[in-house]
A and B are shown apart, each in its own frame.
Chain A
Amino acid sequence: MSVKEEKKSFFSEMLLNNPVFGLYLGICSTLAISTSLNNALGMGVSVIFVLVLSNILVSLIARVTPDEIHIPVYIVIIATLVTLVGMLLQAYTPELYSTLGAYVDLIVVNCIILGRAEAFACKNGVGASAKDGLMMGLSYTFSLMAISLIRQILGTGILSMSNPFTNAEIFALRLIPSGFEIPIFKSQTGAFLTFAILAAAVAAYKKSIDDKAAQAEKEAKAAAAKAKAEAAKAAKAAGAAAKEAKA
């Protein structure tokens, strides 16, 4: 595959196999956190951290883990990682930690992490697991950022980001004039709405891809049938010609 094609497939992969919009995993924190870009980024990074490390650890330990206790083992690993992340966040980015609140600990029960551990990491090597974790984490982060972007712009009118470690503002753009923002997007309702629309969009995109693929398949089939028919014809003609030559 060429670089361009690889990139294309990377994005479509992200979109189609998106754990959030495609598989509806890890929704809880998605909806709760996505009020601002900062939060989304903070949460996303934490999830990537946990996901990658847990995938690595799980793939390492999977071989020596009996089947019956694999759930508790994975849970302990994930929980330890989450607690670790929590502590680090609390120490170095206290603002972010207080905004994320209880949802940091809830990363433990984020279906994505346990799901990937079960589905992929325990069956594959460390490298592959790590890559998988990274990919999943990134697509999760992007989905989170997509929702936050919409909610923050529509809800507060300002697109801003600040350095989580120092609380210094990096940039702040007012995109919607003050007084014209739609506060409902700041609330729970807005979260559901945004999510629904994005999910629908992804579903629609998925469908169109599927349709296209189905269409392409159909065409390929038709072409193949045609080619086959042609070949048969040609063979027949050749056979007839040979016969003729013999005679």
Chain B
Amino acid sequence: MSKDSTAYKAVLLAILCAVCGLLLSGINALTAPIIAKNQLATVMASLEQIYPGGEFTEVEFDDPSGLIQGVYKSPGNGTIYKIHNVGYNSNGFTFMVAFNEDGSVGGFLPIEHNETDGFGARCFQDDYTATINGLTSSDPVPLLSGATLTSTAIQQGIDAAKALFNADAGISYDPNAVAEPSAPEAPKIAFSDDFSKTEPEAEEISNDGMTAVYSTKAGGFSFLNEKGNKNEAEITLDVPSGTVKSVKITKFSDTPGIGDNATADSALKAYEGLKAGDSVDGVSGATFTSKSIAAMVKSALDKLAGGGTSAAEKPAEETAAVTKYAETEPEVEEISNDGTTAVYRVKTGGFSFVNSGGDKNEAEITIDVPSGTVKSITVDTFSDTAGIGDRVTAEDYLKKFVGVSDPEAVDNVSGATFTSNSIKSMIQSALDKLKGLNAGTSAAEPEAAETAAPAETAAPVETASVSKYAETKPEAETVSNDGTTAKFRTKSGGFSFLNENGDKNEAEVEVDVPTGKVKSVKVTKFADTPGIGDKAADDSWLSKFVGVSDPDEVDNVSGATFTSKSIKGMIQSALDQVKNSDPAAAAPAASAPDQTAAVTETTAAPEETKAPEAAAAPETTSKDDSKQTASRFKETEPELEEVSNDGKTAVYRIKSGGFSFLNEKGEKNEGEIEIDVPTRTVKSIKITKFSDTTGIGDKATADDFLSKFAGKKDADDVDGVSGATFTSNSVKAMIQSSIDKTEAPAAALPNTEAGK
């Protein structure tokens, strides 16, 4: 065939390829075994570094991640995994990780990498390799800060190896666990440590002289850092020896996967046999929870010993307040006190002090002695973070405390919690100092004189307790009362009512009349936020009120404060009804002739946060309980002036403060009201001056609202206008004052009782 024919070309190519192919296959046969041996030798060199002198066999493996390049088993030692992954440098890196037969890491050997010195290359240096060598096959692999990409890639590789190893060895572990950032050593906790931050509570459940069981609570990670719940445990003590018999966690509120290492049976066993003054090893990586458990055990031991160390029992107001802000380490110094005004210089630690050992904040606080409320706060030294904490020391935040007798009435500034607590702590210590001087004016006394501070604790008196939830505007209606069990239909405003002008929540409350304790609570109408407030409407929480005579014995549901208070308000109003001899009364009574209640209106909070307390109407012994007085609308500071009274019709000109007056130091609203003297009912009402918010409050001054009052004997017979609460109350105050002023024809000449 000629050179140019196709056949020739084809044959030539074919022969060429065949020859080449044969040649190559020959060489391949020659070199392939050598190559394989070489590869094994390089691998062997590395394997030997991990398990010197060991025998290795390469085994088959099925790795879905594709990162594992080889698996080598060494009997008596463990299994080595060769892993390749890509970190920062696109060429990637190769390393080996070995797991001993017992699951611990047998070695971590970098084979080759191209990472950058000082960054990714640090992952292959002693510090990090030592960390890896200290892990086990069920531990999460920590990342290295500053070498994120590389350490993440290493983490992925080791995780792939872990998966295979644990599957082989039958070890279960959490593949999604995140490595705890805390120190690997187990923290040693002594019972003599200060657990006040965990706010431990202990309650004796039973004590038969041999065994005592306590129900305890103490805050762990969730409580201290995330405003979450405390952990709860049942601690059993052996009475004669004063030692711990058992610890059983009944409620775990911390982080699953991290804190629960401390609640594991093995960790709890550590407490058995311990007594007061001992110390215990916490669980490394779960320090908060360990401390919380230790705190609970200690509080139980203390309770047994008879000492009360827990600060969280229902204490008198002073102690509760002090321990609440204990970490701010407040220092108070009285500068002056003339019986009317007391000035204090206070120092408390904010963010800077508590977290970085920096300076405390300092302020001068002026207190109104008679009412026990704040008059002014001036911050002298601000030591916290500019731009963050100084929102708290800003004028318009500080002025919220004016007239307040409990700093908790004001919400913290979001994002400036430390500084807020610092300021609150200052106020609280100033108030406490004052109270220390005014002996005997603890808020728990119902019959106290004018200067009582608002009731924190459950005071079983109509006014004090109900006024505690006054802002929820509770209403209670007796359904039945047979002398043993009283049933009430109650309403009270929660989040929706107070902040969104929505409806009140409604509930049916049953009270055991002889003991004055709650028998049952059932929410019949839930008007607040589903998913948030309904935790407080849930039976599991409501059932806590059974057998309770003071709703405050039950903690609010964290994150559902408004609704919780609403429920408590309803319960309290029901309880009050039982205590009251007058079953028909729905509103809080007790007049206080000359007191101006401090002004704290609830400002709408965007999320469920603690609602500020409405100032309580100061308790005084009222001479005339049955008479409804305008003390109900005291805060509007109504001023009444009689224009005319001809025995048939009484005309009054009245001023009373609405939104503008109460919140913005604006003007009062003014109105003219006609009362029909014989029946003491409203004839007409005309608003002569409207000072509140146009478009909002003026709905309550509209004729169609005002006309509802015609013929009414009681201002509260008409519901306020939703969304115009302040103005509605202002109007009602005007009306009520007028009605009250109008004595029945037999009464004497009207006494001008001008409110201040």
Contacts and interface: CB of A to CB of B under 8 A. Distances in A.
B24 A92 contact: no
A25 interface: no
B42 A94 contact: yes
Contact of B13 (A72, A84, A88, A92): A72
Contacts of B20: 76-77, 79-80
A199 interface: no
A90 to B, nearest CB: 5
Interface in B669-696: none
B31 A90 contact: yes
Contacts of B32: 87
Nearest to B42: A94
Dominant SS among interface residues on chain B: helix
Contacts of A68: 9
B27 A87 contact: yes
B519 to A, nearest CB: 81
B64 to A, nearest CB: 27
A87 B31 contact: yes
Interface in B21-46: 23-24, 27-28, 30-32, 34-35, 38-39, 42
B335 interface: no
Interface string B30-69: 1110110011001000000000000000000000000000
A90 B16 contact: no
Contact of A80 (B9, B23, B30, B35): B23
Contact of B24 (A61, A80, A94): A80
A46 to B, nearest CB: 15
A69 B32 CA distance: 32
A110 interface: no
B4 interface: yes
A83 B9 CA distance: 24
26 contacts: A64-B3, A64-B12, A65-B12, A66-B9, A66-B12, A72-B13, A73-B12, A73-B13, A76-B17, A77-B16, A77-B20, A80-B23, A80-B24, A83-B24, A84-B23, A84-B24, A87-B28, A87-B31, A87-B32, A87-B35, A88-B27, A90-B35, A90-B38, A91-B30, A91-B31, A91-B38
Contacts of B30: 91
B8 interface: yes
Majority secondary structure, A binding face: helix
A94 B17 CA distance: 28
Nearest to A87: B31
A65 B34 CA distance: 37
Given A69-B12, A84-B24, A91-B30, 7 more contacts: A73-B13, A77-B20, A80-B23, A84-B27, A87-B35, A90-B31, A91-B34
Interface of B: 3-4, 8-9, 12-13, 16-17, 20, 23-24, 27-28, 30-32, 34-35, 38-39, 42
A94 B3 contact: no
Interface of A: 61, 64-66, 68-69, 72-73, 76-77, 79-80, 83-84, 87-88, 90-92, 94
Nearest to A183: B117
Contacts of B8: 66
Nearest to B37: A91
A81 B501 CA distance: 88
A80 B34 CA distance: 20
A84 B3 CA distance: 29
B119 to A, nearest CB: 14
Given A66-B8, A80-B23, A87-B27, A94 B16 contact: no
A61 B23 CA distance: 17
B34 A92 contact: yes
B1 to A, nearest CB: 11
A88 B31 contact: yes
A68 B35 CA distance: 38
A77 B9 CA distance: 15
Nearest to A80: B20
A9 B3 CA distance: 41
Contacts of A64: 3, 12
A83 B25 CA distance: 11
A57 to B, nearest CB: 10
A84 B34 CA distance: 14
A34 B668 CA distance: 89
A31 to B, nearest CB: 16
A73 B38 CA distance: 34
B35 A94 contact: yes
B505 to A, nearest CB: 70
Contacts of B35: 87, 90-91, 94
A65 to B, nearest CB: 7
A84 B29 CA distance: 12
Contacts of A83: 24
A69 B38 contact: no
Contacts of B28: 87
A203 B8 CA distance: 46
A201 B466 CA distance: 97
Contacts of B17: 76
A73 to B, nearest CB: 6
B9 A69 contact: yes
Given A68-B9, A88-B27, A76 B16 contact: yes
Contacts of A72: 13
Contacts of B23: 80, 84
Contacts of B42: 94
Which of A61, A68, A73, A87 counts the most B-chain CB atoms under 10 A from its CB? A87
B3 A69 contact: no
Contacts of B31: 87-88, 90-91
A125 B16 CA distance: 21
The 3 closest A-B pairs by CB, nearest first: A91-B31, A80-B20, A91-B34
Contacts of B24: 80, 83-84, 87
B246 to A, nearest CB: 61
A137 to B, nearest CB: 21
A96 to B, nearest CB: 12
Contact of A94 (B12, B13, B39): B39
B712 to A, nearest CB: 89
